[in-house]
Structure 1
Amino acid sequence: MTTSPSFAPAAKSTIRKISIRLVPFVALMFFINYLDRTAIGFAAPNGMNDDLALSAAQYGFASGVFFIGYILLEVPSNLALHRFGARIWLARIMITWGIVAVLFTWVQNFPQLVVLRFLLGVAEAGFFPGAILFLSMWVPAAYRGRILMLFYLAQPLTTVIGAPLAGLLIQQHGLFFGLEGWRFMFFGVGLPAIIVGILALVYLKDKPADAKWLNEEEKQWLTGALQAEEAAKSQGTGHVPARFAFRSGRVWVLSLIYFGFIYGLYALAFFLPTIIEGFQSQTGQTFGVVEKGLITAIPYLPAAVVMYLWSRDAGRRGLRTWHIAVPAAVGGVSIPLALFAGSPALTITVITITACAIFAALPNFWTLPTKFLTGAAAAAGVALINTVGNLGGFSAPYLTGALFDLTGGYRVPMFVVGFFMLLSAVLMVLLARTERDSVPDTAEADSPR
C-alpha cells in the first residue's frame, strides 16, 4: 500500500485510536458471543445433563445444532450487513441472540434444548463474519493482521475469564427464584448481550468519516488508504458482485481449511469441561465448580499469549504459509496425543499445546479473504468461509458425542479431530503453491509464501 508522505504521521495515530476506541468494544461483543454459544459446555457437567437426562450423543447434538441455524442464515445476514450498515445489523444480531440466550434459563427437556440451540444459531448468524468485515472496513490491509489479533484475543480470554465466571454463577444455586445454578448461569451470561447490543447502536459508527474521535487529518488518511485499496482490488474488474465469491476456488479451499480449525476448536470447547469431570475418577479428588472452571481455563491463557506473539511475528515478517500451516499441523498431532497422557496434568499440557496451535493460526487466517475480495463479494466470501467452516462446529460436538457413545472413550473422536486439522495444514500449503502468483499486488507484502 502506498501512503502519501504528508499523511504518514496520521497513520500511526489513526491505528492507535482504532486499537483503543473501536477494537476493544467489538472484542467485548465477540467475548459475549463466544461465551453464550459455549455456555452449554459449562452447564452440561454441572447439573444440566442430569436434570434433562441427556446422553453424550444428545448433548453433542444439542451443542452442534446451533450451527445449522447459523449456517442457513450466515451469507444472507452478511449481505444484509453490507446493505443496511454494520452498526445497526451487528446490534440487531446481538440483542436477538441475548433474548434467546436468556430463555435457556427455563429449558425443561431435550427437545426444548434443541429448539433453543437452533434459534440461538439463527439469531447469531452473521455476527462473526460481520465483525471481521466491519474491522476490515476500518483498517488497511497492512495493519489488519495486528487488529484482528487484538480482536481474536477475546476468544481464548472468553474461557480464561468466562470459565471461572460460569463456575461462580453456577454456585449461586437457588439465588434467583430458586433456579438451579446452571440455569442461573445461562441467565447471567445472556443478559449482557442485550445490554451491549443496545450500547452498540450508539457507540459504533459505520464509516471513518462519522468517527468524532478521529481528527480531520486522520479521517482523510484512513478514508484515502481504504479507497485506494478497494480500487486496487477492483482494478480491471469494476464492480465485484457477491456471486464472484461462490465461483472462487480460493474461497472454497479457505473454507475447508477453516473447517479443520473450527472442528478442533469446538471439540475442545464443548467437551473439555466433561473431560475434566473425568479427572475426578482418575485421581480420586473432588473439584468444586469454580475449580473446574479454573482448570478449564488453563489451556487458554497460554493460547492468548502465543496468539499475540505469533501474530506479531507475522506482522513483522509478512504473513507466510507456515504462520498458518505449522500451527495446524501441531494441533493435528497434539490433540490425539492427549489420549496417551498418563496423568491429568500431562493431559492438560497437551491440550494447552493444541489450544495454542489453533489460536495462533486463526487471526492470521482471517487476513487472507479480504486481500482479494471487495464490496459485496467480500461480504459473501467471508460469510461463505465462515459458513462452511462452521459445519465443523456442528460436526465436532455431535460426532465426538456419538463416537464416544459408540466406542466408550475419546480415542476415536480425538483422532478424527487430528485428521481434520492435519488436512487444514496440507490444504494451506497446496493453496500457497497454486495461488501465489494470483495474489493482488496491493497485498504482496502480506501474502502467504
Structure 2
Amino acid sequence: MKVLVIGPGGREHAIVRSLLADPYVSEVHAAPGNAGIAQVVPVHSIDASDPAAVTALAERLASDLVVIGPEAPLAAGVADALASAGIPVFGPSRAAAQLEASKAFAKQVMAAANVPTAMARVAVSAAEAAEALDTFGAPYVVKDDGLAAGKGVVVTSSRDEALAHAQTCFDAGGSVVIEEFLDGPEVSLFVLSDGHNVLPLAPAQDFKRIYDDDAGPNTGGMGAYSPLEWAPAGLVEEVIERVAQPTIDEMAHRGAPFTGVLYCGLALTSRGVRVVEFNARFGDPETQAVLARLKTPLGGLLMAAAKGELDRINDLAWSRQTAVAVVLASANYPDTPRTGDRVRGLKKASALEGVHVLHAGTSLSEEGKVVSSGGRVLAVVGLGDDLVEARSKAYDGVGLLDLEGGQFRTDIGLKAARGEVFGSASKEA
C-alpha cells in the first residue's frame, strides 16, 4: 500500500522509518518532511494544517492511507477532510482531537468515564486562578487549556510564577487548567484505537525539562526510553481497563469516535495510576524509542485502526532490546531557538552499530548542507541488550554530532539504569 505521512518532525521520521521496514508498504511519501526524511522518501512542500491541500496531495498520490503526525493538523480538521474524500486516515477527527486541543474538555470526558486523574479547576481570570491555586496549594500546576506543543505547563513552588503563567494565557485570549500536583514517576503509553477497539504499545518514559535532573523549563521532550523494567506488573492492562477503553467508549457515546493513537500521560502516584493528560497523536520523542523496538509491521496496524479492524490484530511482536532516544536541541531552546546552524557528524553517528539518527528540526541550506530549522534538531536512538548498553550507544552517537550551541541532557534513563524509580508527573506530555 501507499502511505502519506503528514508532519515535519522526529516523530514523523520515526514513523516513516518503520513504514519503510513494512513489507506490505510499497511506497511512502511525506509532507512537508525535513532534511532527514527527504533522504529516504519523496517529500512535498505543503501546509500540513490545510485540509484541502493535504486531501488534494493524497488524491494525487493515490494514497491508500494517510498518517497524521502532529496535533495542529488534527485540530484543523485534516482527518475530517480526508475521511470525507473516502481516504483512510490514521488520526482522529477535529471533534475527537479535542481530547488534546482542550484540557478542560479532556477533564470532562474523564469525569464522565470515571477515569482517575488529578483534581482540577478551569480558570478564565486572575481571581479564579488565585482561588484555584490556593485550593490545591504548592507545588502549583498551571496548564494552558489549548495546544502548546508540550510547553504550556508550569510546575512551580512559586505562587507568583504560577499566576504569571496563567496571566500570560489570559492575555493571549485563553484559559487555564489548574490541577493538584501528582507525585510519583511518569509513564507514557500509546494506545491505538479504531473508534471502539484498543491496542496498547509498549510503555515509555520521557524527559520534559531542558536540563539534567529535571531542571529548567518544560520542552517538547529531551529524550525517552522503552521498555520500563521497573513498571508494576499489570500496569498496561490496568491502564486499558481504567483509562483507555473507558475514554474511547465515552468518545463514541458522544458521537465523536476516536480513531488514531491516544497518548496516555500517566502518573504512578501513591494513590494509584492517575492521568496527567491525553494527547491525540504519537508523542515525541517517545515514538522514536517505542517504534525502534516494534517488530510487527506498522503499516498494517495503522490501516487496521483506520478501517475499524483492530480486533483482527494478534499480539504485537517486540524486540527484546531496550531503546534510548536522546534529543539534540538548538541554542536558546525552548525560548527562542536559534536556527540556520550547520549540523555535522551525521554519517559518523549513523554508522555506529545499534544507532540511528532521526531528524526533527532540519532543512537543507542553499549549498545542500543540513542545518537546524527548529528547536529540537535531532534524536539519536541507541538499541542495546539493556538500558545501560542502549544509553551508551545513544550517547556515543550524540558525541559524534556537532551543532554550535547544541543542547542535550546527559541523564536520559540514567536513574532507571541505576535502579532508581523517580520523577514527578504533573508535566505536559
User: TM-score of the superposition, structure 1-length normalised?
Assistant: 0.26
Higher strand share: 2
User: TM-score of the superposition, structure 2-length normalised?
Assistant: 0.26
Higher helix share: 1
